[in-house]
Structure 1
Amino acid sequence: MQTRRFGRIGLVSVLSASLLMASACGNSTETGGKETGGKETKTPIKIGVVTSKTGPLEAYGKQELNGLKLGIKYATGGTNEVLGRKIEIIEEDDQFKPEEGKNKARKLLEEDKVDILQGTASSPVALAITDLAKENKKIFMIDPATADDLTGAQFHKYVFRTGRNTGQDWAAGAKYAVENLGKTFYHIAPDNAFGKSSAAAARAAIEKLGGQIVKEDFAPATTQDFTPYLQRAIQSNAKVLLITWAGATPLFKQINELGVYQKMTVYTGIPDLAGIKSMGDGAEGMVGFNTYHYTLPKTKENDWLVENHKKEYGTVPDLFTAGGFAAGIAIVEGIKKAGSTDGDKIAAALEGFKFRAAKGEYTFRKEDHQALQPMYIVKLKKKDGELVPELIKELSPEETAPPITVK
C-alpha cells in the first residue's frame, strides 16, 4: 500500500488519484490554510482505521481495508471527496491486541483528530475501542468484528455496524442445521469475546428450534493442535460439529486428517478463500452459512465491486471485502445526509437508514444500529478443481435479523 506522511505522527494512507476522483457534494466552512496563489483550502475528512495489519487476522484486515477504499470510491463517484473535502484514511495496526488497539484509537482521536473511526478485524479489539468513540462523540463504523455486545450490551449512539453479528450468523444457520443435519451439536469456538458471543447465539437459536448443544468447547485463539478438541467432539456422539473460528488456522486441515467429516456432520460459517482451500477435499458437499462470496450476490453493486477489485488489487474480493465496501458507502452517505462530520448529526442521519451495497439492501436498525442484510446457505462443490460455495438459499434481511440485546 502506498503511504505518505501528512505532518502528523503515523502513516496516512491516502487513496490514490486513480481510486478517488468524484463530485463535491455540498459546502464546508472548515478550511486548512492557503494554497499556492492564495486559494483557501478545505481541511480533509479523516477516517481512522484500527485493524489487524499483522497477526492471525491480517488477511481479514486487508479485506476490510480494500473494501472500505472501494466503497468510498463508489459512493463518491471516484473523487474521494464529500462536502467538497478530500477523504484521507489513516491506518493503524492493532496487532490483534485489545490494549494496542485502544492505544491506536486514542492516538487517532487525540493526535490525528480523525472525524470517524472504522474497524476492526477483532471483536476483543473493537470492544476495547468502542467507549473511546462514545467519549469523543465520533462515529465508530464497525466491520468485520461480530461480537453481539458491540450492538448489544455495549451499544451507544455512535456505533454502527455494516458487518453481520454472531446473532445474524446463527439466525441464518440454526434453522437449516436443526431441520436438515441433526438435533445434537458439539461446538468448538475460540476462548475470547468472538467465540463466547457466537456460542451464546448458537445455543439460543438452536435450543429455540428444539436442538441441543451437548457441549461448548473453548480453545485458546492461538491453538495449533486441535486433536484433543476434535477427539472429544467425536466421543460426544453429537450428530453435528459446529465450528466457530476466525483467521488462519490448521483446524480444518486437522478435521480432514482425522476423518471427522466421515464421523459427524461439520457445520460452520464458510470462511474466506484461503480458509475454504484449507478445508481439503473432504469438505466437498459440506453445507454452511455464508456472509459473502463474490459469486453469490446478483447486484450491480457487486458487479462493480468485483470488477474494480480485480483492477485495483489483481484478485477477486474476499469474505470481508463486502462489509468494508458497505462501511465506505455508509460513511460517505451519512456525511452527505448530515451535511457535516459531526458525530451527533451523522448518528441521527444513519439511524434507520437504508442503502445499497454489494449484497443488496442494508438497513441500520434503529434500536441497535446493526445493519440488517442478506445472508446465504451454501454447499461446497468442486469446480475446476477447487471448492466453491454453491447457493442453496439466499436469506432476506428480515429472515436473518438477530435478537435486539441492547440493555
Structure 2
Amino acid sequence: MYLSRHRSLRRPARTLVLLAAGTLLAAGCAKAGTAGTATGSSDGDGAKAAAPVKVGLVYSRTGPLAAYGKQYLEGFKAGLEYATKGTGAVDGHPIEIAEQDDTGDPAKAVSEAKDLIGKGYKILAGSTASGVALQLAPIAAQNKVLFISGPAAADQVTGINDYTFRSGRQSYQDTLTAASFIGDAKGRKVTVLAQDSAFGQANVAAVKQVLGGEGARVDAVLAPPSATDLTPFAKQAKAAKPDLLYVAWAGETAPALWQSLNQQGVFSATKVVTGLDVAASYPLFGAAGEKISFLNHYFGGAAGTEVEKAMTASLEKAGAKADLFSPDGFTAAQMVVHAVEETKGQVADTDALVKALEGWSFDGVKGRLTIRAEDHALLQPMFQVRLTGNGAAAKPSVEKVLGPDEVAPPVAKAAG
C-alpha cells in the first residue's frame, strides 16, 4: 500500500485560502507561531483584522492512495463551506489551508508535519494511509498540536494520545459490520486476505478479536503491498477452505486481486465479505459482484440525510461526486470549525481545542456522529450493501443500516 522510504525532493505546499466574503487577507499577516491569536493586520482603515486560523492537510495527493486523498480533499472543502455557511471564516478568522502531499510515505509525512508545526500550525488533518497516521499521532502529542486523522482505518489510531482524533471509520467498525453477515461464528473458519501493511494487519487483529472472540478459527493470507501478481495469494485463500473469506484491501491493485479471485473460483467456493470500495471499482467485480456480501463505510446516496444532500450539492458545484471517503474530509472540516468556534479562534490553546471536540455529537453526512470522550473514537452508522448489475451498470444499494452502538469499538485507554 505504501511507497518506499526513498526520499524525493519535497514539492512546495499548495495553499488554499478560504476567506469571508468581502475580506482581503494580505500576505504575511500572520507570523510563524501566531496562528489563531487575537492579533492581525490592519485592514487599511486602522481596524485590526482577525488573524487567520492555519490548518495543515497532510494527505496523499499522489501515490497509491491518491484517489482516496482526492475524495478527502474535495469533502474537506465541501465541509468547510457547509460549516462556515459559505464564508470560509469562523468568528471573523479566515481558515487558511496548506496542502502537503505525503505520497503515502510515513517518513515524508513526518517531515511535512514538522515543517508545518515549525511555521506555527496548531491544527493538522489528513492521513489517507494508516502507516502515516500512526507516525503523525506521536508528533502531534509531542508538539501539542490537534491532529484529525482521515481515511486511515488502523484501530491503533483511536486512543493513541490526547491530541489525536479521527474523522473516518476504523477497522473494528468494518469487522463488526462483516460479522453481522454470518451470525453465530462459533466453530466457523475465517480467513483474512489482506496486504501486509498497517491497514491489513489492523484488520487481521480486529477479526481475531471480534470473530475469534466468538469462537471462530481465524487465520490470514497476507500479500506484500508491492505485489502485483496476486494469483498465488488467491490460491492460498481458496486452499484454506474457509467458511468466510474476509478481504481487506486498498489501493490500485484491487482490480488485479478481484480478477485473481474470480479466475481461481473463490466466489463459488466460499462466502466472501469485503468493503465496498470507491465507485470506480464497481464495474471491476463483474458478475461476481452479486455474489459478494459488502460492508460499507459510505457510498454516494447511502445516507439520505440533509447534511449528505448539502455535501453532494457542494461537490457537484465543484465538479466532483460523493464517494467513499468524501465524508471523512467533510467531517474533518466540521470538527475543525467546531473547535475553532468553541475557542473563538484562540487555537494556540490546543488543550481547549481537544476539550471542545471530546464528547461532541453532531449531524454528519452519514447521520448522527459522536466523538467518544474517553478515546476519541468516532461513533457512526455503517452499512450492509448489495451490488447489482454488471460493468458500468453496477449500482450499490443499502440492505441494512447498523447503528453507531451496533458497531462501536471497545474503549481504548488513551496513552496520554
Q: Same fold (TM over 0.5)?
A: yes
2:4 alignment partner in structure 1: none
- In 2, the alpha carbon distance for the partners of 1:80 and 1:360 equals 24
Taking a change above 3 Å as real, the CA distance of residues 81 and 17 of structure 1, as seen in their structure-2 partners, is closer
Which residue number corresponds to residue 325 of structure 2?
320
Match among 4, 12, 15 for residue 15 of structure 2:
12
- Aligned mates of 1:203, 1:76 — CA distance in 2: 42
Contact 1:330 1:355 in 2 (8 A): no
Q: Is 1:258 matched with 2:261?
A: no
Separation in 2, partners of 1:117, 1:365: 20
Q: 1:372: which partner in 2?
A: 379
- Equivalent position to 1:304, from 297, 300, 310: 310
Q: 1:104 aligns with which of 84, 105, 112?
A: 112
- Offset at residue 384 of structure 1 (A): 9.0
SS in 2 for 1:40: coil
Structure 2 residues not aligned, in runs of 5+: 1-11, 25-35
Out of 247, 251, 255, the residue aligned to residue 251 of structure 2 is 247
Partner residue in 1 for 2:341: 336
Alignment of 1:177 with 2:185, yes or no, is: no
Q: What SS is found at the alignment partner of 1:289?
A: strand
**Aligned match of 1:123 in 113, 124, 130?**
130
Query: Which digits, 9 at most, give the CA deviation of each residue in 1:53-81, with x for residues without a partner?
Result: 11110011111111111111101100000
Which residue of structure 2 aligns with residue 66 of structure 1? 74
> For residues 86 and 15 of structure 1, what CA distance do their matches in structure 2 show?
6
Contact preservation (8 Å) 1:70, 1:309: yes
- 2:277 is the alignment partner of 1:276: no
Matched, 1:356 2:363: yes
For 2:18 and 2:92, locate their aligned partners in 1 and report how far apart those are by CA, in whole Å. Answer: 16
Does the residue aligned with 1:329 lie in a helix, a strand or coil?
Answer: helix
* Alpha-carbon contact 2:295-2:383 (below 8 Å) kept: yes
2:169, 2:49 → 1: CA distance? 38
Shift of 1:181: 13
What's the offset of the Cα at 1:278? 2.2
Equivalent residue letter for 2:203: S
More deviation in 249-258 or 138-147?
249-258
Stretches of 4+ moved more than 3 A in 1? 15-18, 35-39, 178-182
CA contact (8 A) 2:274 2:294 kept: yes
Pick aligned residue for 2:242 from 238, 242, 261? 238
Count the aligned residue pairs: 387
Paired residue secondary structure (1:125):
helix
Partners in 1 of 2:281 and 2:211 — Cα distance? Answer: 25
Overall identity of the aligned pairs, in %: 35
Amino acid at match of 1:282: A
Residues 178, 209 of structure 1: 8 Å contact kept: no
Shift of residue 83 of structure 1? 2.0
Asked if 1 retains the 8 angstrom alpha-carbon contact of 2:381 and 2:404, the reply is yes
| Residues 332 and 256 of structure 1, relative CA distance in 2, 3 Å threshold | same
User: Contact 1:256–1:283 (CA<8 Å) still a contact in 2?
Assistant: no
Contact kept in structure 2, 1:117 and 1:140, CA below 8 Å: yes
For 1:218, which of 210, 214, 222 is the aligned residue? Answer: 222
Contact 2:186/2:216 (8 A) holds in 1: no
In the alignment, the residues of structure 2 paired with residue 266 and residue 384 of structure 1 have an alpha-carbon distance, to the nearest angstrom, of: 20
- Residue equivalent to 1:159: 164
TM-score when normalising by structure 1: 0.90
Change (3 A) 1:29 1:199: closer
CA change 1:205–1:102 in 2 (3 A) is: same
**2:402 equivalent to 1:395:** yes
Equivalents in 2 of 1:189, 1:285: separation in Å? 19
- The alignment's TM-score, normalised by the length of structure 2, stands at 0.88
CA distance in 1, matches of 2:267, 2:76: 36
Taking the aligned partners of 1:151 and 1:75, their CA distance within structure 2 comes to 24
Check whether the contact 1:285–1:379 (CA below 8 A) recurs between aligned residues. Answer: no
Which residue identity lines up with residue 323 of structure 1 in the other structure?
D
| One-letter amino acid of the counterpart of residue 273, structure 1 | A
Query: Displacement of 1:43 after TM fit?
Result: 1.8
1:252/1:159 Cα in 2 relative to 1: closer, same or farther (>3 Å)? same
- Aligned-pair Cα RMSD in Å: 2.2
Q: CA deviation at 1:180?
A: 9.3
- 1:186-225 equivalences under 5 Å are 186-213=191-218, 215-225=219-229
What CA deviation, in whole Å up to 9, does each residue of 1:112-155 have, x standing for no partner? Answer: x2130001100101111111111221110111111111114xx1
- The whole-number CA distance in structure 2 between the counterparts of 1:379 and 1:353 is 32
Q: 1:403 to 1:229 in 2, by over 3 A?
A: same
| Consecutive unaligned residues in structure 1, runs of 5 or more | 1-8, 22-27
Higher mean alpha-carbon deviation, 387-396 vs 86-95, is at 387-396
Report the CA distance shift for 1:254/1:107 in structure 2 as closer, same or farther (over 3 A): same
Displacement of 1:222: 1.7
Tell me which amino acid in the other structure corresponds to 1:12: T
Give the counterpart letter for 2:222 in structure 1: F
